[in-house]
A and B are shown apart, each in its own frame.
Chain A
Amino acid sequence: AQSVTQLGSHVSVSEGALVLLRCNYSSSVPPYLFWYVQYPNQGLQLLLKYTTGATLVKGINGFEAEFKKSETSFHLTKPSAHMSDAAEYFCAVRSMDTGRRALTFGSGTRLQVQP
């Protein structure tokens, strides 16, 4: 069964600083990987995804993530944080070795951006 681990339930950065949110997965075959963002009192919005091909994927709002098979990681980064980036971020995985179509989510990381 697949699983997702997000290191750090809370991350605080200064405005303009680098954002790094960590995600490691466990899966017997390379999975599909996703990052979602949840703003207060809202549903989840897809930031970016990796399925196949280029391992560095770019998403909305200046975020990007790199799939590293050797490290089983899919960390989310943004060069310069903005106040509007403050939200909860979830990494998710869909294993491709089963017929399971649902996603398994990590525990989430709350990003705070300090002025």
Chain B
Amino acid sequence: SAVISQKPSRDICQRGTSLTIQCQVDSQVTMMFWYRQQPGQSLTLIATANQGSEATYESGFVIDKFPISRPNLTFSTLTVSNMSPEDSSIYLCSVRRGGDTGELFFGEGSRLTVL
């Protein structure tokens, strides 16, 4: 398994502001993934973040809105920019490790409420 810590665990934000979510993993991982879970809904992949390269964004998500950093193999940040109430969601960091068995391990998530 993997220990994944996210900060903040929750926050209430004002419309138009930006918030950066941090994800710290207890060991080095190649690939990190950021997901969004809107209220009462499933998980949607925002982007894949590999160390040393630009993040790869899924359709519907753009770098200007969700800039991602991946400075090393244990850390990543996701910024939610110019927030609106529609950005109120749980944002989850996940990693794959231990070979190619495929499963992802998830952090506890960061619950954002935008007023």
Contact = CB atoms under 8 A, between A and B. Distances in A.
Contacts of A105: 42-44
Interface in B77-115: 92, 94, 96, 101-109, 111
Contact residues of B: prevailing secondary structure: strand
Contacts of A36: 106
B109 A43 contact: yes
Nearest to B105: A46
Interface residues of B, number: 22
A94 B102 contact: yes
A42 B108 contact: yes
Contacts of A43: 4, 92, 106-109
Given A43-B109, A44-B92, A101-B31, A51 B42 contact: no
A107 B103 contact: no
Contact of A102 (B48, B109, B111): B48
A104 B94 CA distance: 13
Given A101-B31, A103-B45, 16 more contacts: A32-B102, A36-B106, A42-B108, A43-B107, A43-B108, A43-B109, A46-B105, A49-B102, A51-B101, A51-B102, A90-B43, A103-B102, A103-B104, A107-B41, A107-B42, A108-B42
